[in-house]
Structure formats: structure tokens, C-alpha cells
Amino acid sequence: MFDVVVVGGGPSGATAAEDLARSGHKVALLDREGRIKPCGGAIPPRLMADFHVTEDQLVAKVSTARMISPTGRQVDIPIENGFVGMVDRKDFDPFLRARAVAAGATPFTGTFIRIDRENGTRVVYRDKASGEERSLETKLIIGADGARSRVGRAEVPGGDTIPYVLAYHEIIKAPPANATYDPMRCDVIYDGKISPDFYGWVFPHGDSCSVGMGTEVGSVDLKTATAALRAASGLTDCETLRREGAPIPLKPLDRWDNGRDVVLAGDAAGVVAPSSGEGIYYAMVGGRVAATAAAATLATGKAKNLMLARKLFMREHKTVFRVLASMQNAYYRSDSRRERFVSLCHDIDVQRLTFEAYMNKKLVKARPMAHIRIGIKNLGHLTGLVRETYV
């Protein structure tokens, strides 16, 4: 009998399993293994501090972000007083799982099938090695099995209707630094020819590089769009090391638990930041609050405490999510809007507050006049009253 079975061993599930194991609970961590999620791999300093991730896990430290508009306009934003850490998910996820196991979680490798409550509560899965159905008896389940979560679809209201962007990237062998590629810079490309409703990216990973894009538009050929992005970035001739694709959720679910014995975490709960698509930090926070909710439920015997996961997450992050969603809705709808968004990024107030908020994962309250100025400029750009800034 386990106290908790965590389904999914990505950043969210591994974090939940580690936290629960360290607090003395009997935890099973069920993961498919062998699957790498497409991900730019950016993590902020706050993640490293909150989750004790040391710099030896980084494949690069980025000091500049470049925004590129549909017409090719470029805005370089220096990351003052910090950096963006880059990880490769093929190494980072196994590191997190190994840490959870070292803390006391019991690993199982297989694919979730269903929850069986006929005789107690059991998580039924298909064992990867034998191909046989097996089960794990448990008191609670944390579903951390991605944007198309099987646990969520079966157990939580709304879990089968979560909207998502399809993301695709290619990990390539990084070229030497040149006029178009900087191993210390993240490029973010806002161009309808690459993605009509999201963006493309070129993120350095040390010896390799992640080049990809995302879209909610089903008619877009992801591989063709990525090939166009590679061509525009001078990366066509670089060796392709691997290709990966997966859905990325667009909105947190209104409910994360079933009121009984299941709570969701990470992509399964929809916690990817709008506009930026950032997911690793929020996935790990989601795993932590799910573990907190599970521990409270086990301690009190009250299933209503599973609701704590969403409450704790939204208490700290709902305002940031709301602001980012407003930005995405305002600026991602057309190339003319994307052009104005990149123009707005020239503003020094926007640059400073954007990366202070990114690194600290909260809106910066210390500069109220800067927020007022940004609001006025934002309105001007959206209405066309402000002339676009060119370089």
C-alpha cells in the first residue's frame, strides 16, 4: 500500500514524489521513460533557488534575449543582474527522477491504464519490461502525465477539454558563434510564417541548440515551419540530433482534483505560462503544491484538502498568468500586432520589468511609475497612436 502514486516523472511528477518522500510518505513514481518533451529548456534563477538545482545541471547561461519581428526587426534585451539558465530535458528529467528515488520514492516503469476502485484503490499500468498489466494499491493519486493527461481525462472535470498548442522542435548541433547565432542569446521569433498564433525559438544548449515553434492551428505543418525557421536563422546545414513534438496546454483547468483521491499537477493541470509558453518552473511549483495538498489530505482524512493545490498555486501566480494571457490575446493575433509588440520591446521599462518578473516569478511592485508608463505605451501601440520604433 502506497500513500501516493505519482503518475508521470517529468519535472512536476518528480518534484511531487521527492517532496512527499522527504516528508516520510510511501510514494510510487510511475513513468514511461524514453520520452523527451520538446522544450526550449529555459529555467529562471528562482527555480534553481527554490528547488535546489545547481549550476552543474545547466548546459548554458543566457545573458541576452533577442525579439525578432515579422519584418526582421531585432530588439536585443540584456538580462540585467541575472541570467536565464538552459537545461536539456533528456538529462534534466532523469536527474529529477533520480533525486526523487534517492529521497525514498519507489520507481516503476510503465504506462498508466486506469484507476480501479473495485477492491480498494489501485493504479493499473502496463509494465514496460514485461508488457503485462500490473497494479499499485494506494490512498491517493497525483496525475502529472502531461497536457493530454489520461488521469485528468478520466477523473477530473474538464480534463478532457483542455486547450493546447502543438509544439515541435529539433535539437541540432550548435554552430560556432557567428553573425546570426550567439551561444549566449535566446532568439524569439514572432512571425506568422513560422507560427500564426504563437512564436518560434532558437535557444542555445551549449554544444547543441533547440530550434522550434508552436501553434494551435491544426493546418500548420510543424516540420515545414521549423525548416523555414532554421533557414531564416542560418541553421539549415547543422546536424539534426533529435526531433520531438508534444502538446503544451494554454490555460489552467478550473479544477485540479476529483474531490476524492486524485489531484493533477503540471501540464496535466494546464500550468504553462501564456504568451511565453514557459513550463518547467510552473510544473515544479505545481508538483510541490500537489504534494502539499496530498500530505494535508493524508493527515486529515479530508478529501477537500486536495483543492489546496490549485488554491496555493493561483494565490501566487494567477495575476502573472492573467497579464500574460492578455498580452498573448492582444499581440499574437496578426503580424501587424506582432510588429508592434516587438516595437514595444524597445522600451527600457518593458525590458527591465519583464526580466525582473521572469527571474523572480512575480510582478515587480517597486516601480509603480514604470507600470503606469508601460500601460500608456501599451495602449498607444494597440490603438496605433504610437509610431513604431525602428532600428
pLDDT at 373: 44
Question: What are the structural domains, with CATH classification, of the chain?
Answer: 2-39+88-162+251-320 (3.50.50.60), 61-85+164-249 (3.30.9.10), 333-383 (no CATH)
The alpha carbon of 177 is separated from its chain's Cα centroid by a whole number of angstroms, namely 28
Question: Is residue 184 classed exposed, middle or buried when 0-12, 13-18 and 19+ CB atoms within 10 A define those classes?
Answer: middle
pLDDT at 354: 64
Task: Name the pTM for this structure.
Answer: 0.89
- CA torsion 39-40-45-46 (nearest 10°) is -40
pLDDT at 223: 96
The DSSP-derived string for 4-29 is EEEE--SHHHHHHHHHHHHTT--EEE
- Which residues make beta-bridge pairs with 208? 173, 205
Is residue 10 a contact partner of residue 95, using CB atoms and an 8 Å limit? no
Report mean pLDDT in 10-residue bins for the chain, 391 residues: 97 98 98 84 92 95 93 88 89 97 98 95 97 97 95 93 89 94 95 93 95 93 96 96 90 95 96 86 97 98 98 92 84 90 80 65 52 42 46 41
Q: Which of 86, 97, 93, 99 is nearest to 58 (CA)?
A: 86
pLDDT at 9: 96
Q: Residue-wise over 53-69: b if at least 16 C-beta within 10 A, else e?
A: beeebbbbbbeebbbbb
d(CA 133, CA 111): 9
